[in-house]
Amino acid sequence: MPQPTPLPAAWPALPTELDGVAVTPADRARYPYLSSSYMRVGTPDLILMARDVDDAAAAVGYAAGLRAAVGQVPFSVRSGGHGISGASTNDGGVVLDLSALNRVEVLGADLVRVQAGAIWGDVAAELSGHGLVITSGNMGDTGVGGLATAGGIGYFVRAHGLTLDLIRRATIVTADGAVHVVDAEHEPDLFWALRGGGTQAGVVVDLDLEARRIGEDDVVVIHQASQQIVDDLPGYVHAWGDLMRGAPREFTSFLMLQRLPDGRHLSVARNVWADTDIAAAQPAVSDFARLAPLVQHDASLMPYSGIVPTPRSPKVGQQHIQMRDALVDVADRALGERVAEALRHDVASLVELRSLGGIVADLPAPATAFGHRHQEVLVSLWAQPRGIAAIDRAWEPVEAVASGVYSAYTSDTRARQAELAWPGETGRRLRAISERVDPALLFDAGLTLRASAE
């Protein structure tokens, strides 16, 4: 007879259907590779490896019952385990792991069903052979569920929008363990909330996403990689902002900015033109190359799957960098001055700029729970883990001009960040939905409106 899963003494026994998917610290073979995330070493007492939506619903039900029985036991949800906040694991609690739900299925000419535990590198590999792409992030190891429900600012963002803008249907498990299939016409409040609200309305198990066609098979795009030495960082940021403001939507630019020992700066860029029209791309590619003296430069066709590297690294808390981000209205000289000031702090490893605008700005702010549509740039600080006060001091110049926060790209889960992530009417509507479908606040991990305020 199978033995019951070993659990802390005060915890209720697992329901029979979950015994077969449970991993505890006693499982020395699997637990070390499932207990932590990319950003955090975790020591949960129970990991539930869902095999299907029924397992996910049962896991949510067990976590809710556990809290009702013994009090505030941590509960985390993990899709790829890459999340910047580290909230996909915990100490002494329960983790619902969706990584076995990783199927990618092309449903039709432009519709793809993706389970939340898939990683974006696998999505790219599968879709490329069909001539299709879905904008995501810039790292293939990132899980679908976490990124798609928070935003998705990837290399096609100006041409195709945020990842969440492409969601057409979803299966979501709410805090009461109920399973809902939602879209614009069926339970539209839940559908609205999951597009930008993360887990604040529940756990998304799968998504139907609208893909975009680039060719017939084996998708390639124009990829520009460069390194430039920058003497005048404020002027460089201003010129980059002007370039991106006038660039065709097909062109998206990501910059990594570092301060050099001599006080100058290094800009490492990865830019993508979202198709293979070399003649159309040439002006933007050439204008970018002229922004500052080039140390390295390559502009060439690259496979779609190649722009989202997928090392498939075990998640064992190996990344110690702390992240902050700000959505900023205008990329101009004043922003460049603030970035330069932030980089003068020893705690600052680099500052990243991601261009926005394009089709992102076409959607009205109230359309989804991601209410940031007018900003030109996402600015992010990669900081050494030397304490929150030191990071605050470095980030203050940029944070002072933030009009929003991208919830998926910050390690800071304090209330001010939640207010910036979901401001005004967006926040009021999301909070109301969360209070209705999760009155006991089961989904309180990471940056959330209700938990971060407590």
Q: pLDDT digit string (tens) for 159-182?
A: 999 999 999 999 999 999 999 999
Cα–Cα distance between 101 and 348 in angstroms, integer? 37
pTM of this prediction? 0.97
Q: Is 166 contained in some domain?
A: yes
Q: Is 194 within 8 Å of 434 (Cβ atoms)?
A: no
Task: Name the phi and psi angles at 181, rounded to 5.
Answer: -105, 115
- In sequence order, what DSSP letters do the residues of 367-392 get, joined into one string? GSS----S-SEEEEEEE-SS-HHHHH
- In sequence order, what DSSP letters do the residues of 330-354 get, joined into one string? --SHHHHHHHHHHHTSTTEEEEEEE
The domain that holds 198 is classified in CATH as 3.30.465.10
Q: Is 159 contained in some domain?
A: yes
Q: Letter for the amino acid at 426?
A: T
The domain that holds 20 is classified in CATH as 3.30.43.10
- How many C-alpha atoms does 137 have within 13 Å on its Cβ side? 28
Cα–Cα distance between 147 and 123 in angstroms, integer? 13
Give the residue from 329, 446, 423 showing the smallest Cα distance to 371: 423
Give the residue from 424, 442, 354 showing the smallest Cα distance to 175: 442
**58 and 120 part of one domain:** no
Cα–Cα distance between 411 and 447 in angstroms, integer? 9
**What strands, in cross-sheet order, belong to the sheet with 22-23?**
22-23, 46-49, 94-97, 75-78
Q: Could you give the number of structural domains in the chain?
A: 2
**52 and 72 part of one domain:** yes
Question: b/e for 180-189, b at 16 or more Cβ within 10 A?
Answer: bbbeeeebee
Cα–Cα distance between 148 and 205 in angstroms, integer? 11
**60 and 124 part of one domain:** no
Cα–Cα distance between 312 and 323 in angstroms, integer? 21
DSSP helix/strand/coil, 169: strand
46-49 vs 94-97, strand pairing mode: parallel
**92 and 109 part of one domain:** no
Cα–Cα distance between 266 and 369 in angstroms, integer? 35
Q: Is 406 contained in some domain?
A: no
94-97 vs 75-78, strand pairing mode: parallel
Q: pLDDT tens digits, residue range 215-269?
A: 777 899 999 999 999 999 999 999 999 999 999 999 999 999 999 999 999 999 9
**92 and 108 part of one domain:** no
78, 97, 116 - which closes a domain: 97
31, 64, 97 - which closes a domain: 97
Residues of the chain below pLDDT 50: 1
Q: Is 397 contained in some domain?
A: no
**125 and 93 part of one domain:** no
Q: Is 34 contained in some domain?
A: yes
**146 and 86 part of one domain:** no
**117 and 190 part of one domain:** yes
**120 and 209 part of one domain:** yes
**113 and 93 part of one domain:** no
On average, the pLDDT of the chain sits at 97
* Sequence-separated (6 or more) residues with CB below 8 Å from residue 393: 345, 347
**116 and 196 part of one domain:** yes
Q: Is 170 within 8 Å of 211 (Cβ atoms)?
A: no
Cα–Cα distance between 312 and 399 in angstroms, integer? 33
Q: Is 72 contained in some domain?
A: yes
How far is residue 277 from each of residues 138, 179, 286, measured CA to CA in Å?
22, 44, 14
**86 and 138 part of one domain:** no
Task: Report the Cα–Cα distance between both ends of the chain, in Å, rounded.
Answer: 45
How far is residue 362 from each of residues 159, 160, 367, 436, measured CA to CA in Å?
11, 11, 11, 30
- The domain of 23 spans 16-97
Question: b/e for 47-78, b at 16 or more Cβ within 10 A?
Answer: bbbbeebebbbbbbbbbbebbeeeeebbbbbb
97, 119, 148 - which closes a domain: 97
Q: What is the pLDDT of residue 137?
A: 87
Q: What is the pLDDT of residue 1?
A: 47
Q: Is 30 contained in some domain?
A: yes
Q: Is 49 contained in some domain?
A: yes
Q: What is the pLDDT of residue 5?
A: 87
